[in-house]
Amino acid sequence: MSAPANPYSLAVYDLIHQPGHHREVRLEFPAPEKLGEGLVSVPAGQAMEIDVTLESIHDGIVVSGEVDTVATGVCGRCLIDIEQPVQVEFQELFAYPSDEAFDFEIHDDHVDLEPLVRDSVVLSLPFQPVCRPDCPGLDPETGERLADHPEFITPREPTDPRWAALGELKLSETETEES
């Protein structure tokens, strides 16, 4: 039986029903599809490195490992292009086929890491990524990056148009001394 074309698939025939045996594997391949849909994602074709330890136990094979890759996208504050390293760990039991339903099972002497790796990577991506922790964002009036124009960074009081008439009110010197 030949191995599937899926780069996430690992043959485990040597570990099946061999409790106590283990094996370490390093996978390196370009991401077959885009991972993530937010402001940052791992694009298809991005290099992925996955270090995996496969441990046979009585109930199946415990797969633990770490994914290293790079996510690209835009800063959630100033909208410039950013690139962020992604390093995430995972661990899951791939059970032997049985009458019970398991999230992950061994099929045809292989374990398919794709859903496990995809979920781990996507859930580790930031919801609101920033180019740097103190990114000031965009000027609300001009739309320009505040980091490029430090003179705009001074906080401005937002003027509520309902109170604009009070801003034009001038008090005489005697009224200000009494207050």
What is the predicted pLDDT for the residue at 91? 96
- CA-nearest of 60, 33, 19 to 122 is 33
Distance CA 109, CA 10 (A): 8
DSSP readout, 119-153? Answer: HHHHHHS-SS--SSTT---B-TTT--BGGG-GGG-
| pLDDT interval class at 166 (50, 70, 90) | confident
| pLDDT interval class at 151 (50, 70, 90) | low
- CA-nearest of 63, 62, 58, 54 to 18 is 58
| Domain residue extents for the chain | 9-124, 146-178
pLDDT digits (tens, 9 = 90+) for 18-62: 899 999 999 999 999 999 998 999 999 999 999 999 999 998 999
Q: What does pTM read for this prediction?
A: 0.74
Cβ(8)–Cβ(114) under 8 Å?
yes
| pLDDT interval class at 97 (50, 70, 90) | confident
What is the predicted pLDDT for the residue at 176? 54
Candidate from 37-41, 92-96, 100-104, 120-124 with smallest mean pLDDT = 100-104
Distance CA 55, CA 123 (A): 25
Distance CA 46, CA 31 (A): 5
What is the predicted pLDDT for the residue at 25? 95
Q: What is the H or E stretch that residue 57 is in?
A: strand 47-57
pLDDT digits (tens, 9 = 90+) for 58-88: 989 999 999 999 999 999 999 999 999 999 9
- In the chain, the percentage of residues whose pLDDT exceeds 90 is 56
- CA-nearest of 83, 78, 87, 88 to 43 is 83
Tokens of 38: 């937010």
Distance CA 129, CA 125 (A): 8
